[in-house]
Amino acid sequence: MFIKKRPTIPLISVIAALLSAANIAHSKQLEEVIVTAQKTSASTQDTPIAITGMTADSLEKFGFQNANDISAQVPNMQVSGPYGDVQPIFAIRGVSMSDYSSNQASPIGVYTDEMYMGATYTHGMNFFDVERLEVLRGPQGTLYGKNTTGGAVNIITNTANVGDEFGFNLKTGVGNYGATTGEFGVEDTIIDDVLALRLGYSSSRNDGYVENALGGPNLSQLDFQGARLSLEWLPSDATTVTFKYTNSGNDSRANASRNEPRGNLDNDPITVAALETAGVGVYNNPDNGYIDNTGYSRPANNLDRHEVQDDYTGALIVDNEQGILRIDHITDNYTFTSTTSYSEADYSQKQNTDGGPDGLLHIRWAVETDAFSQDFRVAGDFGGPVSFIAGLYYATEFQDMHNIYEIYETAPDLRVAVTFPGAAAFYPFLLDFGGVDQKMITDKTSYAAYSQFRFDATDQLGFDFGLRYTVDEVDLEYLNVSRLNYDGDPIGTWVPGNTSGSDEPFIAPSIGGSGPLELAQLLGNILNGSVGVSDLVPSGQLVGYTHGPYTTDSATQQAAKEQEITGKLGVDYAVNSDLMVYASFSKGYRAGNFNGGVYYEERDFENAYAEPEFIDAYELGFKSDLLDGSARLNAALFYYDYTNQQFINVVGVSNFLENAGGSTILGAEAEFTMALSDRLMLNLGIGLLKTEYTELELSDTRTLNNPDDTVDLSGNELISAPQISGNISLDYDVLRLESGDLILNVNANYQSKQWYSAYNDDASYEHIKQDPYALINTRLSWHVSDDSYSLSLWAKNLMDEEYDGYAINLQAGFGFDYFQQGPPRTYGLEFTYRYQ
């Protein structure tokens, strides 16, 4: 059974006890949160979908600073920042994105003022001057600009409003690790009844919380600045024109990587001792019994959790420029809306992926993205019980990606013949490999027609019917994968140019799919019949590099076109004014894409393109206000039938965009809010997940010389899908004086064990996970009685919990597991001033 009694009984018992003892709380009403999740303004309690809305006040209360803070108060949501705060990766209800390629679209749509942000590296660039946030859980296959399978994050920024008088806000803060923050906003009605303006600015900097033992500045820094201009123009009583221009950027030292070596020297102590005695091809580094493929052993160097020996990490630079023009025209029965947006963004990063002092794996990421979208829609009713929204959507996205992977600038340690015998035959090719120069240009176009109808059969019973027809086109306009030497000079080209028939950078000597030093494996395969006599006879395939002469030509251009129908059926029933129950079926899809990872042979369409993924989602939920509005309980049960999930799979020095055959997700979640007294507010949330791949077969990365060897992963859990997640928040008015109030907020969130790979604990992936952990945050604020200024002391990760937010198994090609750890305890002081 999935819904276990142990985690649910305590929550139900606590809620029941709180309700029975809540007589003194009735005088305090809970805040109504207005959202626009269904393209019309409505209370979260009247919206029959799973949604969490956070106002500016609640965001300030939780000390919201970046995208990674969102999941602290949203059930069944995880946010990781492997490449810093500016590039979050979202997971909702077990639907996640494991592909780190910059050309891939997230299954969780991120929108700023209705503009879809396709480039994942821009997802953290708009979390400033925010009016409210909305997190929608479940497929969004009807109303939203881009189909998504997991959900949506809506960022609604502050808007100038005609009629508002002059006002401004100022926030400044300092913290540990040299942190400084600043925010500024000013707005006014420039022309009475006609034009209003707002200007917002934000700056966040710190010196980095990871120390480099080799010297130089700290890593994992932040240096963000953003500015936004907002204009509202009322050319007539019926028409509103809103324009927003945003320019934001980050230029800081990138996140540090943590290298956990997995090459076990105890595999053959005698050979290890002989090699170390000879002293040829063996590095004289300390080790703890485990090394990576250059002989480095981080644990043997007595480094702190947030300390590295880094020889390469450089700047993480993101620039984002965007404009949004919205026009609303209101008639007696209809509202016409046009939303036009454009964005130009670029991203570059120097990453020391091996996390050590040697040249094992250094990557330079770079991409430029230009996007445009246009949405026309009309909302209205027919003067009766039927209302509707219908629209047309068009979007383009042009992306130019250029990545360089430099590997083995430090030659492999000869002891790799013991730690990873299958890699021994690779040794001659890694002595002067150089780098992989990958260039890829894609052009995407999306068209859609959508509608959603609402039929109120009675005052209590309503039906929703949504339908969307989408055409997604993606053109692979340019693809070139070449080999460079360490000085950047060209040597040869794999794509196009590899005519060997092998999708590998080189062909190493092997017998029956085993390396020269894997004799025991070869004998076992002969005995079990998986290797026959014909497999032992050389095929005539030559040993050596597989690339051809260097060229700047492109591989054959390819194109894909998908036409899909998605939609939603929903029914809701208002039992009374305080309780609504609802049920729905929705279908979402994420468009297919060309593999943005590295491969070494020109591929046909079937192997170069990952097909679209689909989710059929069934949901049953209720929303309730209790105790005269002083308590609120919302809950949902859901089941997903998930097909063709897209994710990246790393095999040796190659990576592949794969489709999982099928998976299922069964889950539940609940959010409870209650005014325990006039001075004490409680928020609780819990999420439960049972996920399983029903059909999934991937390469066995332990058998490097046999690319056809696979592992059946059916029954494994999905990525970033903890079985239990929960959050709690308490707000207490410590002091109430005529001059002001002293308010304490303490909040915490918990995640049970989660896997960062579909392999789970199979095939030497048992470390690619995060065990259960909890984070506690707190904020103590003094607000003057007229709320003109406030002073706050805050701390995040108060108990200095150590945890990892991201991990990849790189043993097959490099001999280590790669981790990105979460930030340590941070704290600071913040001052806010408001004039209005």
Q: Residue 329 is encoded by which pair of tokens?
A: 């025209």
Q: Residue 213 is encoded by which pair of tokens?
A: 């033992």
DSSP secondary structure code for residue 301 in this structure: G
List the one residue out of 220, 198, 177, 218 whose CA is nearest residue 130: 198
List the one residue out of 87, 88, 97, 103 whose CA is nearest residue 398: 103
Q: Residue 498 is encoded by which pair of tokens?
A: 């590899």
Between 170 and 705, where is the model more confident?
A: 170
At 140 the pLDDT is 82
Range with lowest mean pLDDT among 241-245, 274-278, 696-700, 705-709: 705-709
Range with lowest mean pLDDT among 308-312, 341-345, 500-504, 706-710: 706-710
Per domain, the residue ranges of the chain are: 5-508+543-835
At 281 the pLDDT is 86
At 249 the pLDDT is 95
Confidence tier at 657 by pLDDT (50, 70, 90):
confident
Give the helix/strand (H/E) hosting 535.
Answer: helix 533-536
| Distance between CA atoms of residues 665 and 125, nearest Å | 31
Q: Residue 713 is encoded by which pair of tokens?
A: 């992963």
Q: Are 745 and 729 in contact (CB under 8 A)?
A: yes
Residue 377 has, within 13 A of its CA and on its CB side, a CA count of 27
Confidence (pTM): 0.90
At 581 the pLDDT is 97
Q: Are 645 and 26 in contact (CB under 8 A)?
A: no
List the one residue out of 109, 82, 122, 27 whose CA is nearest residue 256: 82
Confidence tier at 11 by pLDDT (50, 70, 90):
very low
Average pLDDT rounded to a whole number, residues 208-219:
94
At 28 the pLDDT is 66
Q: How many DSSP H helices and E strands does the chain contain?
A: 9, 47
At 582 the pLDDT is 97
Percent of the chain with pLDDT over 90: 65
Q: Are 588 and 139 in contact (CB under 8 A)?
A: yes
Count of CB atoms situated within 10 Å of the CB of 402: 16
| Distance between CA atoms of residues 805 and 810, nearest Å | 16
pLDDT at 618 over 80: yes
List the one residue out of 102, 22, 28 whose CA is nearest residue 594: 102
| Distance between CA atoms of residues 530 and 510, nearest Å | 15
pLDDT at 45 over 50: yes
Average pLDDT rounded to a whole number, residues 557-584:
95
Identity (one letter) of the amino acid at 600? Y
List the one residue out of 108, 352, 588, 710 whose CA is nearest residue 99: 108
Q: Are 229 and 245 in contact (CB under 8 A)?
A: yes
Identity (one letter) of the amino acid at 119? A
- Residue 795 pairs in a beta bridge with 778, 827
At 708 the pLDDT is 72
At 527 the pLDDT is 45
At 483 the pLDDT is 96
At 400 the pLDDT is 97
- pLDDT digit string, tens, across residues 128-146: 999 989 898 988 877 766 7
Average pLDDT rounded to a whole number, residues 531-540:
45
Count of CB atoms situated within 10 Å of the CB of 236: 8
Residues in the chain: 836
Average pLDDT rounded to a whole number, residues 37-65:
77
Dihedral (Cα; 295, 299, 305, 311), 10-degree rounding: -20
Average pLDDT rounded to a whole number, residues 673-692:
95
- pLDDT digit string, tens, across residues 402-414: 999 999 999 999 9
pLDDT at 383 over 60: yes
How buried is residue 267: exposed, middle or buried, by Cβ count under 10 Å (0-12/13-18/19+)? middle
Average pLDDT rounded to a whole number, residues 82-95:
82
pLDDT at 285 over 50: yes
At 339 the pLDDT is 96
Q: Are 387 and 381 in contact (CB under 8 A)?
A: yes
Tell me the Cα Rg of the chain: 28
Q: Are 613 and 643 in contact (CB under 8 A)?
A: yes
How does strand 609-610 pair with strand 593-594?
Answer: antiparallel
Residue 127's SS3 state is coil
| Distance between CA atoms of residues 118 and 472, nearest Å | 14
Count of CB atoms situated within 10 Å of the CB of 190: 14
Between 8 and 258, where is the model more confident?
A: 258
* Average pLDDT, rounded, for the chain: 87
DSSP secondary structure code for residue 385 in this structure: S
At 645 the pLDDT is 85
Pick the CATH number of 5-508+543-835 from 2.40.170.20, 2.30.40.10, 3.40.50.1980, 3.30.420.140: 2.40.170.20
- pLDDT digit string, tens, across residues 770-787: 999 999 999 999 999 998
At 709 the pLDDT is 79
| Distance between CA atoms of residues 226 and 628, nearest Å | 42
What φ, ψ does residue 521 adopt, rounded to 5°? -65, -45
At 25 the pLDDT is 41
Q: What is the DSSP string of 766-812?
A: TTSEE--EEEEEEEEEEEETT-SEEEEEEEESTT----EEEEEEEHH
Confidence tier at 524 by pLDDT (50, 70, 90):
very low
At 142 the pLDDT is 78
